[in-house]
Amino acid sequence: MNKQEILAFISKNPGFHLATVEGDQPRCRGMFLYRADENGIVFHTGTMKDVYAQIAKNPKAELCFNDYQNGVQVRVAGKLTELTGNAIKDEVSAHPTREFVRKWRAAGLFKDFYNDFKVYCLKGGKAVVWTMATNFAPKEYIAL
């Protein structure tokens, strides 16, 4: 896969696993992609979550996207940066796929939405594609 094919794969498989580190303990959880394009891989969380504290302390992470039906996995490693500003937070929360964020916001789960809702981007990472056919082959990294 090339860069464009990887971004298309990620966009088509928006549920992913995010790995971070807490002290010397790896942590992994399921997340939901906002978008993946030339500007990076974008997702969000809240300051009340452990993942927020882990990213704040160590922004290095790995994202794992899977197409279970076709047996393909794409892992992307890199450094997360926070996208600041209210405009991106409004954009994300207004998106049709983010009704759940609007419900959380309306329910008051964010004490201060613009401070508690965090949007992150992984740009310039490196991706590796895995399949059973390439299981024992040397890894080939694709720059994103």
CB neighbours (10 Å) of residue 142? 16
Query: Whats the size of the chain, residue-wise?
Result: 144
Identify the CA nearest to 81 among candidates 29, 117, 118.
Answer: 118
Instruction: Domains for the chain: give ranges and CATH numbers.
Output: 3-143 (2.30.110.10)
The pTM of this model reads 0.95
pLDDT digits (tens, 9 = 90+) for 84-116: 999 999 999 999 999 999 999 999 999 999 999
Which residues of the chain register pLDDT less than 70? Answer: none
- The CA-CA-CA angle for residues 144, 39, 104, to 5°, reads 115
